[in-house]
Amino acid sequence: MDPHPFVTGNKMVGIDLRSDTVTLPSTEMRLAMANAVVGDDVYKEDPTVNQLEATVAALAGKEAGLFLSSGTQGNLISMIVHCRPGQVVICGNKSHVFLYEAAGMSAIGGLMPCALPVQQNGTLDLTDIEKAINKTDDDHYAHTALIVLENTQNRLGGVPLSVDYINQVGALAKKQNIKLHIDGARIFNAAAALGVPLSELVSAADSVSICLSKGLGAPVGSVLVGTKEFIHEAKRKRKMLGGGMRQAGILAAAGLVALTNRNRMHEDHKNAQILAQGLSAFPEIKIIACNTNILFFELNDSCPMKKDEFVAKLKDLGIQVGGFDKTIRAVTHLDITESMVRDVVQKIGSILSIKQ
């Protein structure tokens, strides 16, 4: 017997590997949402939001947290708190803040990105960063105020940045008296892959934005963490951006359940590897990158099928993938099982063999 027929929810149709954002809230999560104790969060009176913020802050080893609508909002708020209009943000040329946030830093923050080349291992070269930082008094130049790192680095196939590297960037930032923000949309994937606690991984960062709606499986939400002072100002900026929420504990309750999924990230990583290994057996396929839960692959020039046709054929078989240019992206997540990825390998095999 189902005691709560109105919260049973729905299941993924087919096998959706487009992104780890496509996860659907579980029945347990929907029940937690339905039963959440709530209050008005603009008055800081929502106990569930307060609990979520304190929990994420503690996991990250930071003083305070702020519940937000999205990772994009978290990155934007952190940039406008750390910087003043007319200043420069150092980021990667393949980073989410540079490519996929509708230029919010410029349009809303009055900030100029200085986009450095992202290396194959997902890092920004330390010498490049050092050279790019401008703190001189020459009034021709805008001052650098912030470095943004992305962990894991999405466009490089979910590659995690190490504690050692982040600490080096943090030391560099400190020496120059500028701030370090981490876009940690998938920071729990990085922590799991590196086998380090989150607090150690982000100890050099002044702020971190953490998505609850990627592999963790919440329907909505991110948490921004930092010092009490930073979060106090971040709350004002959130209000300014129209992001003050009321009985948001309904959503935060989902976030608290989502956090329990952080300990199963290695399953997604294992499934991504199984997929990569399975596909690498096909001569038509070239594996480009497979780190954590993101696989990039391409069809070889020798393959008579082009990407669009291949993706459409997969879709006919109930399998959805993403991608850009020639690259196909498959992301494993909470709703993807090992038997599903084995099924995907087998079905891709059948598509490729039809064509020969």
Ligand X SMILES: *Cc1c(COP(=O)(O)O)cnc(C)c1O
Please, which residues have CB within 8 angstroms of residue 212's CB and are 6 or more apart in sequence?
218, 220, 221, 222, 223, 254, 255, 258, 259
Smallest separation, CB 177 to ligand X (Å): 26
Q: Does 23 bind ligand X (CB under 6 A)?
A: no
Among 30, 62, 82, 96, binds ligand X (CB under 6 A): 96
Site string for ligand X, 217-256 (x = CB under 6 A): -----x----------------------------------
The correct pick among 70, 87, 189, 261 for binding ligand X (CB under 6 A) is 70
Asked if 87 touches ligand X (CB under 6 A), the answer is no
Q: Least distance to ligand X from the beta carbon of 33, Å?
A: 18
Identity of the residue, 41 or 150, whose beta carbon is nearer to ligand X in the bound complex: 150
Q: Considering beta carbons, is residue 48 or 70 the nearer one to ligand X?
A: 70
Q: Give the residue carrying structure tokens 């876009």.
A: 183
Is 160 near ligand X (CB under 6 A)? no
Residues 186-215 that bind ligand X (CB under 6 A): 211
Per rule CB under 6 A, count of chain residues that contact ligand X? 10
Pick the stretch among 53-61, 66-74, 130-138, 323-331 that binds ligand X (CB under 6 A): 66-74
Q: How far is the CB of 154 from ligand X (least distance, A)?
A: 4
Per-residue binder mask for ligand X (CB under 6 A), 139-158, x = binder = -----------x---x----
Output 244 or 278, the one with its CB closest to ligand X: 244
Instruction: Out of 48, 72, 123, 207, name the contact with ligand X by CB under 6 A.
Output: 72
The smaller minimum CB distance to ligand X, of residues 96 and 333, is found at 96
Tokens standing for 125?
């070269």
Tokens of 191: 């922590």
**Where does this chain touch ligand X (CB under 6 A) — which range of 67-75, 102-110, 282-290, 312-320?**
67-75
Closest CA relative to residue 181, chosen from 93, 87, 97, 69 = 97
Q: Is residue 182 a contact partner of residue 124, using CB atoms and an 8 Å limit? A: no
Beta-ladder partners of 118: 124
Position among 16, 46, 183, 284 found at the interface with ligand X (CB under 6 A)? 183
Do residues 192 and 269 lie in contact, with contact meaning Cβ atoms separated by under 8 Å?
A: yes
Give min distance, CB of 77 to ligand X, in A: 12
Output 210 or 351, the one with its CB closest to ligand X. 210
Residues that bind ligand X (CB under 6 A): 70-72, 96, 150, 154, 183, 185, 211, 222
